[in-house]
Structure 1
């Protein structure tokens, strides 16, 4: 299989050699699965992504959705790809056999879905949102809602959206004013205006199921007064449901996915059903939002992988410059130049380190459901809650930076639309705004997550890191070979980074109750430092797996594993130290940003 998306060997390495996902087959839910069935699903996803998604990625970017006679028109391959996706069972990948699903663990399903995101994130988004809506109906729907909607969503007949943002409110959901008035028969009349609704309108299926945040007449102010409603574009009898498309928004990237302005109830005839309990809409929606945040991290990492592999291929083919001052010496491929190698290694660190972090998060979600003991399940939930904002924001920021390096490796050609890396950069740049800005994720991490459960989440994460550090030192004691010795050195660096992060965290948490603006002023820098520390852990785990395998490796596996060790070295030598320098800034508790007068800007 060509390596144009994510290296197939890398997915196998991350899933089986680092995360050992076969452990999940001991749980009754996954007992009928095996490494072979997991690999078969990934192979099928790879073929489908290559054959149905990748070929129209450029066309979807250059021929954006159009509004013609009141209907959205997309290029034809989008619908064909999504039908193939649904027919292959990937919409229902994590659902049980009773619902027609593959009953895959989330970690394996996310590895499959990463391939589609890397191949064509715009087309994949329609499927991703539909999966999220199906999960919401499954978790919170009534038996009637499940019976009516789940089969249609999982078969690709219906698509779905999450409808949160309003023009005046932006990311502040406490300010939404959309209303839901009871009709007297258990349903509600929905009225309001929503904006930036991804996949908000199209003609890909028979219906679109909107999950809409709105307020009941007796709703308290703020987020505690928000309820969640199922609002279909078409009613069961096929009639329109007073959901109108006010216009399409044209973005810098992911252009093949519609972004819509939607008006609900302009004629007073938009009917919806409550999903979950009254005034608990945001609590319900957080399930889909957190799932979406993991998806953003995976999309960012997949695009970073794609950009890396494209720029690596270009660097191996592009002849420019010489290795000696002699002008008569032959030109060499630019991969021979040190700065190009630096840019390639930096991309590899972000792409493959971020991807493992995302898959680790998906595995935590699985373990929260099926781990044998209550303590293990609780620890998995705590760590997933802690890591979710990091998975979203660190991968979004650094995935985009990796794509910027991919453009630079191409030189002047990278800035043209003739090469795919220019689109990867634009597509990835949107991920810092998706599902809450990076800054919002940073405030969530520092303001809520690191202190939750009296610091229990941090303690659980620290314990797992400590186990990896001990393993690295134990391996080094067994042999004097250079690779284990280096891993032991990296373990010491990781230990120092974690101690520094704990100290910084305690300093900021002590200030938080008294001066929250000052404590949170550099929250984004804190998340970045936190993310680098966690990704360093991901790279130490990859390095240890590579060391274990090198003793028996043959053929192409040897350079693959050597590449893992080279990337680990680069991350610990060049990337982690830069993050460590941020602790002095964070611990200074500088009040300048909190006290800044906007007249000075």
Structure 2
């Protein structure tokens, strides 16, 4: 994996060019490599050996405390000591001012080693980054800075037992906390009451405090909650109350663990149902959790999407690395396990010794698929991270383009790896056969852990609605047009390279089909007709994007001298994707283009 990671960073994304920008001027290619080396070592020594332990000894609650294996505490302490929680932040906040693309590449090692243990850090970094973008100076100093230092960890609290993804239906309420609530130095002070479900990292003793970011509805002018999403605001709700110096006051906030959810995978991350304001821990003799508003009233969702979009790319990366882990495990198994004889012109010769599994054509198919999914997904995640660097440090034109491309690609960065790297894990189990289904080998855990990523941070249905309903039509389709220009540029360059021209033509044709289907879906201007088939549109869009990235990666491999040994493998994965995967878009785009009415006309009774 490291060779591929280095190739993608240096030969494809040309991260060395970032060193010319003032923000990254203190770094060199060597410091980038040192960061990757350090994270690879910590992941190998502190995370990977205990991935199975965290799975089998999942968190348990004794009524007072949540217990986790000591190895989880030690792994996260090593992560905190590495400084990676603040890797991309300013020096004044304890950061290293690393490019986002280097930060994401470094975090890939932890996702590969133990995605569940690494989840605490991903949530904390996203929580603190949101506060850096939308919090007041004191909120950044008190809460974000302590999170970046690893003294406190953070969560995001959106879903509720009765609402799930339908945030307009959340029932958690926030009311002003008495006279002078607006003058609190930490932000307008409210009392929250309600319940939040599926909160990862919601209770533990890894750190001395937990900073919850909670969505809740505030009252309107008439004193009643505002309907829909307009009344949703965002609040900092610490587990333990703090003062303006970031010191614990010794008083517990009215946030209580109602119970742990026990999931199929990701068992190493506590997943909780939290009660806010039930009165178990009254503050100043009164029930109601103390929360400090972030941003303006009614802008909670806008603020939270900062963390959600960052988390969506992080979820995609986690899915990629689980796919990569399964690929590497099944490849190693296929190379050492001998079974069966090759088919020759004379058929099978039972007198010959068995050959390694990797010699069989169908096993090669499964391994190539995993390689195409995992390495392609890694390219997608790193490309998005590189766009984040353009968004923050590029010139005005580059920033505008990066922002539009990120809007369009974020649903793909989350959804495509969570579907196809899960398929990679399924294929890894298949390569191992019956052994793959046992807990003696790690591939079954990789599949269980990865299955959650199709739900994490918005299901496929939600991502499809976002892509077709908003992203490709926003600003008159400007984001889609910009992406099409980049795809067309890759096809044009590849058309001049021997062995790649056929793929360039196929990519151009796929792009035209995608554009035509997009127009056809919206031909009547009726959202219900266009969006009924949003999920197959998402799948086709994702495959076109990955076909583009694979061709672009192959072009870089053609020119690479430092990683010339990778060229045959990249070409083989490219050929696989164009031969076996890209043709699938016709089946997905057909219902989209004709606005197939079945799914919106289907009636409950017909089931």
TM-score range for the pair, normalised by the shorter chain length: over 0.9
- Alpha-carbon distance in 2 for matches of 1:296, 1:269: 33
- From 7, 29, 32, the equivalent of 1:13 is 7
- Alpha-carbon distance in 1 for matches of 2:273, 2:386: 36
- From 530, 537, 540, the equivalent of 2:548 is 537
- From 109, 112, 123, the equivalent of 1:129 is 123
Identify the residue that residue 83 of structure 1 maps to in structure 2.
Answer: 77
- Alpha-carbon distance in 2 for matches of 1:89, 1:104: 11
- Alpha-carbon distance in 2 for matches of 1:422, 1:332: 25
RMSD of Structure 2 on Structure 1 (CA): 1.1
- Alpha-carbon distance in 2 for matches of 1:157, 1:253: 27
Identify the residue that residue 333 of structure 1 maps to in structure 2.
Answer: 356
Identify the residue that residue 279 of structure 1 maps to in structure 2.
Answer: 298
- From 97, 102, 108, the equivalent of 1:108 is 102
- From 16, 24, 29, the equivalent of 1:22 is 16
Q: Secondary structure at the match of 2:321?
A: helix
- Say if 2:590 is the partner of 1:584: yes
- Alpha-carbon distance in 2 for matches of 1:26, 1:284: 32
Identify the residue that residue 234 of structure 2 maps to in structure 1.
Answer: 228
How far residue 518 of structure 1 moved from its aligned partner, in angstroms, is: 2.5
- Say if 2:241 is the partner of 1:241: no
- Alpha-carbon distance in 1 for matches of 2:522, 2:73: 49
Residues 55, 232 of structure 1: CA spacing in aligned structure 2 closer, same or farther, 3 A cutoff? same
Q: Is the 8 A contact 2:521 2:529 kept in 1?
A: no
Q: Is the 8 A contact 2:156 2:199 kept in 1?
A: yes
Q: Secondary structure at the match of 1:277?
A: coil
**CA-to-aligned-CA distance 1:173-222 (integer Å, 9 cap, x gap):** 00111111111223111110111111111111000000000011115311
**CA-to-aligned-CA distance 1:85-125 (integer Å, 9 cap, x gap):** 01111111111111111111111100111110111001000
How far residue 583 of structure 1 moved from its aligned partner, in angstroms, is: 2.3
Question: Any residues of structure 2 matched to 1:540-559 within 5 Å, and which?
Answer: 540-549=551-560, 552=561, 557-559=563-565
Q: Is the 8 A contact 1:518 1:593 kept in 2?
A: no
Q: Is the 8 A contact 1:494 1:533 kept in 2?
A: yes
Identify the residue that residue 283 of structure 2 maps to in structure 1.
Answer: none
How far residue 582 of structure 1 moved from its aligned partner, in angstroms, is: 2.4
How far residue 34 of structure 1 moved from its aligned partner, in angstroms, is: 2.2
- Alpha-carbon distance in 1 for matches of 2:149, 2:190: 27
- Say if 2:432 is the partner of 1:410: yes
How far residue 559 of structure 1 moved from its aligned partner, in angstroms, is: 4.3
Moved more, 374-383 or 338-347: 374-383
Moved more, 307-316 or 92-101: 92-101
Q: Secondary structure at the match of 2:252?
A: coil
- Alpha-carbon distance in 2 for matches of 1:123, 1:595: 44
- Alpha-carbon distance in 2 for matches of 1:135, 1:558: 38
Identify the residue that residue 276 of structure 2 maps to in structure 1.
Answer: 264
Gaps of 5+ in 1: 1-6, 477-484
- From 202, 207, 212, the equivalent of 2:209 is 207
Q: Is the 8 A contact 2:557 2:564 kept in 1?
A: no
Identify the residue that residue 519 of structure 1 maps to in structure 2.
Answer: 530
Identify the residue that residue 510 of structure 2 maps to in structure 1.
Answer: 497
How far residue 558 of structure 1 moved from its aligned partner, in angstroms, is: 4.7
- Alpha-carbon distance in 2 for matches of 1:291, 1:189: 28
Question: Any residues of structure 2 matched to 1:327-476 within 5 Å, and which?
Answer: 327-372=350-395, 374-474=396-496, 476=497
Q: Is the 8 A contact 1:451 1:509 kept in 2?
A: no
Q: Secondary structure at the match of 1:239?
A: strand
Q: Secondary structure at the match of 1:271?
A: strand
- Say if 2:319 is the partner of 1:300: yes
- Alpha-carbon distance in 2 for matches of 1:174, 1:384: 25
How far residue 581 of structure 1 moved from its aligned partner, in angstroms, is: 3.4
- Say if 2:10 is the partner of 1:34: no
- Alpha-carbon distance in 2 for matches of 1:494, 1:138: 40
- Alpha-carbon distance in 1 for matches of 2:277, 2:104: 37
How far residue 585 of structure 1 moved from its aligned partner, in angstroms, is: 2.7
**CA-to-aligned-CA distance 1:537-566 (integer Å, 9 cap, x gap):** 1100111111112xx56xxx5542210111
Identify the residue that residue 340 of structure 2 maps to in structure 1.
Answer: 321
Q: Is the 8 A contact 2:437 2:444 kept in 1?
A: yes
- Say if 2:272 is the partner of 1:250: no
How far residue 509 of structure 1 moved from its aligned partner, in angstroms, is: 2.0
Paired residues, number: 578
Identify the residue that residue 570 of structure 2 maps to in structure 1.
Answer: 564
Identify the residue that residue 200 of structure 2 maps to in structure 1.
Answer: 198
- Alpha-carbon distance in 2 for matches of 1:257, 1:495: 43
- Alpha-carbon distance in 2 for matches of 1:538, 1:258: 35
Q: Secondary structure at the match of 2:85?
A: coil
Q: Is the 8 A contact 2:236 2:293 kept in 1?
A: yes
Identify the residue that residue 290 of structure 1 maps to in structure 2.
Answer: 309
